[in-house]
Structure formats: structure tokens, C-alpha cells
Chain A
Amino acid sequence: MNVSIVPALKVLRPAAMLVIVVLVGLVLGYWANATFVPGDSPEQPIAFSHKIHAGDNEIPCLYCHTQARRSPSAGVPAVSKCVGCHLEVATEKPQIRLLMGYWENREPIPWIKVHDVPDFVHFTHKRHVLANIECQTCHGPVETMDRIRVTSRAVDGSAQAGQPWKMGLCLSCHRENEVENGTDCWTCHK
């Protein structure tokens, strides 16, 4: 008896085509999403540029992120901090008009958090700022970024764009600088 698989293939062909089309669509969609809607660098409500502020005009990080030297969280400046300068500076630019809209409506700007550590991690900016650790050590070259992007540091010290922080980063730095009890789990975990 002759058995052929050709009739079976005839049925399978459209199904196989469908699978291929779906796979190609998924890959394309993933690529497009990663390229145009980057999760590590989301579009902020106001196109604030760290390049203009911290890079070109050399405003110190701690001028706006004042809480970094006295609290665990570095803090996002209040709208009043922005307005303090922008009542006078660059008032005609569209993004500044957007800012003044928030100011006049007395609303906070809904910034999207980019740099975050998991909830089981205890990190305090205060201790690190007071120890004169450069902000760029962990946050990467922020002063060159038009839109803020997650940037971690490889163990060899190079900046890694788009990578979240890992435990090895904390540990390698604590070991290099011989931090007191720096490798005790409860120094960073909670």
C-alpha cells in the first residue's frame, strides 16, 4: 500500500505559512517596541534634557537633587525649583511653556521613574554622596543624555547603557574601596 504525505502537507502548508507570518510579526514588533518605545528610557511628560542642564551649563547634580546628600532617596526637584530659574531663562521655548502650565495649575510633573532598585534593597544616597562617590559612577554619563536612560556600570568600570543594576556592581565597589562591613548581606538587603 502506498502512503503519501503530500495530502497532509497540502493541509499543513497554510498553517505553516501562518506560523511563519506570526513569528516574523512578533520579531518585528519586538524590535519596533524596543527601538521606538524603550522601556529603559521612557518618554517623559516634559522633554527635560540633562545634557543642556548638567552638561552644557554645568549645573551640579546636587543643585536640583538636593535630597541626595541628606536622605536615602535623591529626590526629584519640585516644580518650584525649575520655575526658580525658568521665570527668567528660556521662557519662550515650548517645553518651558509646558512647565509653566504645570506651575500655573499647581500640579506636580508626573515624571516616570527610570532608575529604581528592587524593594528588598536598602540603598542610601546620603552615605554614598558624603563618601564623595561621583553620581556618574552608578548613573552613567548623565550629562551627555538628552533623555535619561538606565545605565549601570560593569564590574570593570565601563558604563553599560540599558542595563539595570546588579548586585555584583555594589559588591565589587564595596570590595575595591574596602567598605566597613561592605560585604555583609544586611548592609544592602533589608
Chain B
Amino acid sequence: MSLFSRFLDGWRKYRKPGYYEKFDYHWTMTVDLDKCTGCEACMMACQAENNIPVVGEDEVARGRELQWIRVERYWEGEYPNARLRFMPMMCQHCDAAPCETVCPVSATYHNQDGLNTQIYNRCIGTRSCAVYCPYEVRYFNYYDHGWDSPLEQQLNPDVTVRGKGVMEKCTFCIQRIRQAKDLAKDDDRRRVQDGEMQPACVQTCPTKALVFGDRNDPESQVSLSMDDPRSYRVLDELNTDSSVFYLKKVDA
């Protein structure tokens, strides 16, 4: 196939509105805010799985924290009738992602699985994507943080250790997706079954508030969950068409 015909194919495929409804898989997550207790186990699991360094107090105070998923707190009402609400916020893997259009080197792009992906060694660190992200879920490595010995021994070999000057964010644990696809191929199956693979945060959630799966499979747990009447998407009015659905009962 020549370069030009590949370009034409890409043009036909990607310039059509709604092309993203035809992904191979359409990985989606739902977060049940009525179940979330704000325990932050997901944050720890993510940190362990994805080789996220600990930046220290000073850096966090300067807004340079590294955490691919964070639990946001919202206080409602005044003491003594105050209520605390939690909202886990990670990369929403928008199908119309603002960050993808702005990257000058195409280090972030949308792949055939509906994932918003980041190629670390292609990133030149302009941080434009972080500016464009309405969810503020892209994190920048201002320093080479490193790990104190012997903690570097527990790094995940399937995930790159990102260096200084590189943007990073939630990948929906793409290394686990890749492994699940690999195992599916071994069994002569074409597709990954529902529940076969979970990101670290979903796996660790003690109240099962997080559900992950393939939206293209109408029987999958996540498809049923996202059709829940409580379902909504954060900042949906921006038309980012995000892949993370939040379930929340509206107070009367």
C-alpha cells in the first residue's frame, strides 16, 4: 500500500463524523459515585501498577503532583450539616479529545480501541495537552524523581519509567489490555471476554464502584451500567464524548 493510499484510507476513516463508533473495542469505565467511599485505594493501586513516583510535599504544594487517578472532594452545606462527596477523576479517554488535536508531535492520539494514548518517548514536553484538557488529568514530569533503593525493584516491567520532561496520564492500564489480547489470541479467540481484564483501580476498588469493560459488547457489565438512569458524563456540554460515565443519584 502506498503512502498516499494509506493517507486516503485514513482520511476516509477519520474525517467521517462518528468514526469512533466503529472501534475494535470501546473500552469504557463507569464510576458509581453512590458507592464510592473515598478510600483512595484506587490511587494507591494505580501508583503501584504504573510506576508513578512519589513527588514529595513541596512539589505537590506547587501543583506538580503525579497521580493518574485522584479522588476529588466536594463539601456541600455548612457545618454541622456538611456533606462530603467524592469523585474519582482520571483520564476520561474522550473520543473527541481536545488534547489530541493540540499535540505538535502526535505523541497523544486515539487508537483503534477508543483509547486516548500517550507515547512517552515521542513526547517533547510542550504541555499543550495539559492546557487543553478540561479535566486536568494530564501530569507532567518536572523532574526525574526516581525511587529510593530497594523500591526500584518493584517497578512494573510492562510500563515505561517516564523521564523528566514527559507528559503522562491514565492509560486504562493498556499493558493489561495488551496482555488480555495476547491470551485471547492463544485461545484462538478473536475477542477479549468481559471481565477478563481490569485496570488496577477497578481491581482494587473495595466497594466495586468502578466497572470497566468493552462498550461494543451489549451484554458486558459496563454496557449495562452505563445505561443506568443515573448515568452522566463530566463536562458533557464540552462535547468531549468521554469514555468514563459517572453514576449519581440526583438529590431531590
Q: How far is the CA of A14 from the CA of B194 in the complex (A)?
A: 78
Cβ of A181 within 8 Å of any chain B Cβ, yes or no, is yes
Beyond A119-B160, A181-B24, whether A124 also contacts B182 by CB under 8 A is yes
Q: How far is the CA of A57 from the CA of B174 in the complex (A)?
A: 43
Is the beta-carbon distance between A190 and B111 smaller than 8 angstroms? no
Cβ of A113 within 8 Å of any chain B Cβ, yes or no, is no
User: Nearest Cβ distance between residue A171 and chain B, in whole angstroms?
Assistant: 12
Cβ of B232 within 8 Å of any chain A Cβ, yes or no, is no
Is the beta-carbon distance between B119 and A185 smaller than 8 angstroms? yes
Is the contact region of chain A dominated by helix, strand, or loop, or is it mixed?
Answer: loop
Across-interface contacts of B120 in A (CB, < 8 A): 120, 189
Cβ of A115 within 8 Å of any chain B Cβ, yes or no, is no
Is the beta-carbon distance between B111 and A186 smaller than 8 angstroms? yes
Across-interface contacts of A120 in B (CB, < 8 A): 120-121, 160
Across-interface contacts of B119 in A (CB, < 8 A): 185-186, 189
Q: How far is the CA of A127 from the CA of B158 in the complex (A)?
A: 16
Across-interface contacts of A185 in B (CB, < 8 A): 109, 111, 117, 119, 122
Chain A proximity mask over B88-127: 1 for CB below 8 Å, otherwise 0: 0000000000000000000001011001010111100000
Interface size class of B (residues with CB under 8 A): 20 to 34
Is the beta-carbon distance between A190 and B175 smaller than 8 angstroms? yes
User: Nearest Cβ distance between residue A74 and chain B, in whole angstroms?
Assistant: 16
Q: How far is the CA of A78 from the CA of B121 in the complex (A)?
A: 34
Chain B proximity mask over A101-120: 1 for CB below 8 Å, otherwise 0: 00000000000000000111
User: Nearest Cβ distance between residue A124 and chain B, in whole angstroms?
Assistant: 7
Interface residue total, chain A, C-beta cutoff 8 A:
14
Is the beta-carbon distance between B1 and A175 smaller than 8 angstroms? yes
Across-interface contacts of A186 in B (CB, < 8 A): 111, 115, 117, 119, 174, 178
Give chain B interface residues in 137-179, CB to chain A under 8 Å.
158-161, 174-175, 178
Is the beta-carbon distance between A184 and B112 smaller than 8 angstroms? yes
Across-interface contacts of B160 in A (CB, < 8 A): 119-120, 189-190
Beyond A186-B117, A189-B121, whether A127 also contacts B111 by CB under 8 A is no
Beyond A181-B112, A184-B112, whether A190 also contacts B159 by CB under 8 A is yes
Cβ of A166 within 8 Å of any chain B Cβ, yes or no, is no
Across-interface contacts of B121 in A (CB, < 8 A): 118, 120, 189
Is the beta-carbon distance between A184 and B111 smaller than 8 angstroms? yes
Cβ of B185 within 8 Å of any chain A Cβ, yes or no, is yes
Across-interface contacts of A122 in B (CB, < 8 A): 158, 175, 178
User: Nearest Cβ distance between residue A102 and chain B, in whole angstroms?
Assistant: 26
Give chain A interface residues in 110-155, CB to chain B under 8 Å.
118-120, 122, 124, 126-127
Query: Beyond the given A120-B121, A122-B175, A185-B111, could you list 13 further A-B residue pairs with CB under 8 A, ordered by the A residue number?
Result: A118-B121, A119-B161, A120-B120, A120-B160, A127-B182, A184-B111, A185-B109, A185-B119, A186-B178, A189-B119, A190-B159, A190-B174, A190-B175
A-B contact pairs, 28 of them (CB 8 A): A118-B121, A119-B161, A120-B121, A120-B160, A122-B158, A122-B175, A122-B178, A126-B182, A181-B24, A181-B111, A181-B112, A184-B112, A185-B109, A185-B119, A185-B122, A186-B111, A186-B115, A186-B117, A186-B119, A186-B174, A189-B119, A189-B120, A189-B122, A189-B160, A190-B158, A190-B160, A190-B174, A190-B175
Interface, chain B (partner A; CB < 8 A)? 1, 24, 109, 111-112, 115, 117, 119-122, 158-161, 174-175, 178, 182, 185
